[in-house]
């Protein structure tokens, strides 16, 4: 009796191991992975969904498109469509504390070239003083991608340089090289030359270098939506390729192997759908309040694997490069697994980051909170033990400048008392 009960599970596990590339591939590369199997089986035909072919790249415009930045997803819970929208999402306090500074920053974004450099446009910035524009533009040195908003490649390098922690001597030498970049070969014998060049080579300049190609549409595997006050999960069936077996009436013995292989391929594709659907249901169960507008709760990959009676490594492959679409945007499945910072599993890194954002947003502008003070407030609020370096890391991920830099920004804005 026990043997019969275990047999299906063993069969499923064996199928998963045999067809792991199908489970691991993202939905956009799924047909390509299936085509590899079809190459070894002359009787299998893989066709892309008719509906997808007819609608092409615009098929998911009604849902969401994104060149999703994972770190931004983690801190904000949503993905962005383009580098311009990624920038717009960063135009927030404390870097841009007033409505006026935010409006001007968004105008500056409109004036960015395809390379990410600032080009003055009278139709957009007409009527604004050069001093106003420059005061806000200088804050772009704290934004991602690094170097954006600079007037030229030299200033873009300088923006990038200010984001690094270098000793004074190396910083000054790097700055000198950048300002005299056209004569850089004249400095090859200087003792810091190799070290400085290594620093400069790390910069991705022009700032939009990684965005030159048109953003690729990310197709979600799952849709999470509300219907009649219920949160529901739907697999993206319409985008899945279709598998057919063309034997053309042949009935030779050797065909049995190919027929079995074709059936296994169909089963593996169905298993992929079933596994991702179950993952979607579990995410909704564990993160129900997130879909109602609240924060992501701590959720371990192991817990999900245990609930689905699967190995954690299998679930890890299943969620890799997979996305879901919901009212809050397009989100990578892996970003739902915020790790817990306390033993009870009640406090996630996401909730701590949200707490930091609120602290800085409401801080005394004449005396911005240091990382040590933020750490004290977090420990008092959440009763957890963290290090100051962790706070600095979270602050940097949130694009929040240091307390000294924030004080300078407040003074520029006239907000420091």
φ/ψ of 178, rounded to 5, equals -65, -45
* Mean pLDDT within 254-277: 82
What CATH number has the domain spanning 349-413?
A: 1.10.10
Per-residue pLDDT tens digits for 170-180: 999 999 999 99
Q: Give one DSSP letter per residue of 326-364, joined into a string.
A: ETTEEEEGGGG-BPBSSTTS--BHHHHHHHHHHHHHTS-
107-136, pLDDT tens digit by residue?
Answer: 999 899 878 899 998 888 988 999 999 999
The residue that leads in pLDDT, 211 or 102, is: 102
Task: Tell me what pLDDT residue 133 has.
Answer: 95
pLDDT digits (tens, 9 = 90+) for 37-70: 777 777 777 877 644 433 333 322 333 233 333 3
Give the span between the Cα atoms of 41 and 39, in whole angstroms. Answer: 6
Q: Which of the four pLDDT bands, split at 50, 70 and 90, describes residue 7?
A: very low
* Res. 222 pLDDT band, cuts 50 70 90: very high
The sign of the CA dihedral 125, 128, 129, 133 is negative
234: which strand partners? Answer: 223
In which residue ranges of the chain is CATH 1.10.10 found? Answer: 349-413
Q: Give me the helix-helix angle, 371-382 and 349-361, nearest 10°.
A: 120
Residue 85's pLDDT is what?
77
Query: At 299, is the pLDDT very low, low, confident or very high (cuts 50, 70, 90)?
Result: confident
How confident is the model over 399-412, as a mean pLDDT?
A: 80
The Cα 264–Cα 44 span in angstroms is 12
Give, to the nearest 10 degrees, the angle between helix 312-319 and helix 255-286.
90
């Amino acid at each position: 009796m026990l043997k019969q009960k275990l047999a299906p599970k063993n069969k499923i596990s064996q199928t998963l191991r045999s067809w792991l590339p199908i489970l691991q591939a993202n939905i956009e590369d799924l047909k390509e992975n299936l085509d590899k199997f079809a190459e070894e089986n002359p009787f299998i035909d893989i066709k892309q969904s008719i509906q997808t072919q007819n609608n092409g790249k615009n098929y998911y415009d009604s849902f969401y498109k994104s060149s999703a930045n994972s770190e931004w997803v983690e801190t904000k819970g949503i993905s962005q469509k383009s580098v311009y929208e990624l920038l717009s999402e960063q135009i927030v306090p404390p870097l841009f504390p007033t409505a006026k500074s935010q409006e001007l920053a968004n105008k500056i974004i409109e004036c960015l070239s395809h390379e990410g450099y600032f080009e003055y446009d009278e139709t957009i910035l007409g009527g604004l003083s050069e001093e106003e524009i420059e005061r806000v533009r200088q804050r772009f040195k704290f934004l991602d991608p690094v170097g954006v908003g600079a007037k030229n490649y030299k200033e873009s390098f300088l923006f990038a340089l200010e984001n690094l922690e270098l000793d004074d001597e190396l910083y000054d030498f790097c700055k000198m090289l950048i300002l005299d970049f056209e004569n850089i070969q004249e400095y090859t014998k200087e003792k810091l030359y190799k070290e400085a060049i290594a620093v400069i080579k790390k910069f991705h300049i022009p700032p939009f270098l990684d965005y030159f190609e048109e953003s690729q549409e990310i197709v979600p595997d799952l849709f999470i939506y509300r219907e009649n006050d219920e949160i529901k999960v739907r697999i993206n069936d319409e985008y899945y390729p279709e598998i057919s077996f063309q034997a053309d009436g042949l009935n030779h013995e050797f065909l049995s192997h190919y027929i079995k292989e074709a059936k296994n391929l169909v089963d593996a594709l169905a298993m992929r759908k079933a596994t991702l659907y179950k993952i979607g249901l579990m995410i909704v169960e564990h993160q129900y309040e997130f879909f109602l507008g609240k924060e992501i709760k701590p959720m371990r990959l192991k817990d999900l694997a245990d609930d689905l009676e699967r190995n954690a490594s299998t679930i890890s492959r299943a969620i890799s490069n997979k996305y879901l679409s919901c009212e809050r945007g397009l989100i990578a499945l892996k970003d739902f697994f915020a790790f817990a910072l306390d033993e009870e599993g009640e406090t996630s890194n996401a909730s701590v980051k949200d707490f930091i954002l609120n602290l800085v947003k409401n801080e005394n502008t004449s005396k911005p909170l240091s990382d040590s003070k933020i750490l004290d407030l977090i420990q008092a609020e959440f009763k957890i033990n963290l290090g100051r370096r962790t706070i600095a890391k979270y602050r940097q991920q949130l694009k929040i400048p240091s307390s000294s830099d924030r004080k300078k920004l407040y003074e520029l804005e006239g907000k420091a008392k």
